[in-house]
């Protein structure tokens, strides 16, 4: 859930109709029952203060520590095939990305090797030419006359 800064809260519309008109999801509106503890930011969809919702949600999960894990397990049990299909999709996508990356690395390595060899050959040719007479260089390039 988004945390609002004081500046952001000040900038919010003061009523729900205004928020609706501006196509916004939050407004400040009437102070909530805990307005002595926090600023009021209300949700357009259910009129509730998001800061109060956060407090009650925390209290609920403290009082029902197994709720989330049981709910998660139930959801998994009821949607096993979807979970498995998604895991498979993600696995395939990941391995596909890895294969593409490996291929790219190999391609770059080959290209680099080629460049190094080309440079080496050019160096060797230059060294060789340093030890040849002009005539020999000419003959090497264009064939003996």
Minimum distance of Zn ion from residue 52's CB (angstroms): 3
47 binds Zn ion (CB under 5 A): no
Handedness of CA 118, 121, 126, 132 (dihedral sign): negative
49 binds Zn ion (CB under 5 A): yes
Handedness of CA 6, 8, 13, 16 (dihedral sign): negative
Gap between the Cα atoms of 3 and 49, Å rounded: 12
CB 90 within 8 A of CB 98: no
Among 12, 28, 32, 42, binds Zn ion (CB under 5 A): 32
50 binds Zn ion (CB under 5 A): no
28 binds Zn ion (CB under 5 A): no
Among 25, 30, 34, 86, binds Zn ion (CB under 5 A): 34
Residues contributing to the site for Zn ion (CB under 5 A): 32, 34, 49, 51-52
């Amino acid at each position: 859930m988004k945390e609002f800064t004081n500046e952001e809260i000040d900038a919010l519309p003061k009523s729900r109709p205004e928020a609706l008109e501006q196509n916004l999801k939050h407004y400040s509106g009437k102070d909530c029952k805990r307005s002595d503890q926090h600023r009021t930011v209300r949700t357009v969809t259910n009129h509730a203060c998001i800061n109060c919702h956060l407090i009650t949600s925390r209290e609920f999960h403290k009082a029902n520590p197994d709720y989330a894990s049981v709910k998660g397990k139930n959801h998994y049990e009821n949607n096993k095939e979807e979970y498995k299909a998604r895991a498979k999709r993600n696995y395939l996508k990941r391995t596909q990305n890895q294969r593409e990356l490996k291929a790219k690395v190999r391609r770059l390595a080959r290209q680099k090797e080629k460049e190094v060899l080309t440079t080496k050959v050019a160096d060797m040719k230059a060294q060789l030419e340093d030890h040849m007479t002009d005539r020999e260089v000419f003959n090497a390039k264009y064939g003996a006359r």
